Amino acid sequence: DGGITQSPKYLFRKEGQNVTLSCEQNLNHDAMYWYRQDPGQGLRLIYYSQIVNDFQKGDIAEGYSVSREKKESFPLTVTSAQKNPTAFYLCASSLLSNYGYTFGSGTRLTVV
């Protein structure tokens, strides 16, 4: 079955440590996205990529980094520079224009 997989589902890290969240899709979608969701709030765009080896900052990119070495994969690194990293992170993919997103099941990151 085609889909988008995020791992792990839950992640705990100590403050000051970098952590990488995985996102893999087998939908042959060109575009991939990372969003952050805080409790009771909407989705805010962190980074997005429309083609391999290229990506753009979203609205809240500070403290995050990404790579797009393969069409299927778009990992997100939450660095120690991110001041409030505890959140629900959602990865999504889509065809390039005017199509709905397919979301992964998300990663809940808790930094203690």
Partner 1 sequence: GQQVMQIPQYQHVQEGEDFTTYCNSSTTLSNIQWYKQRPGGHPVFLIQLVKSGEVKKQKRLTFQFGEAKKNSSLHITATQTTDVGTYFCADPTGGGNKLTFGTGTQLKVEL
Cα–Cα distance between 95 and 100 in angstroms, integer? 8
Q: Among 45, 52, 60, 61, which residue interacts with partner 1 (rule: CB under 8 A)?
A: 45
Which residues have CB under 8 Å from 86's CB, separation 6+? 109, 110, 111
Smallest separation (angstroms) from partner 1 to the CB of 17: 25
One residue of 12, 28, 96, 110 binding partner 1 per CB under 8 A: 96
* Backbone torsions φ then ψ of 111, nearest 5 degrees: -110, 125
Cβ atoms of residues 89 and 76 within 8 Å: yes
Return the residue of 41, 62, 69, 81 that touches partner 1, per CB under 8 A: 41
Residues that bind partner 1 in the complex, under the rule CB under 8 A: 31, 33, 35, 40-45, 48, 50, 58-59, 90, 92, 94-106
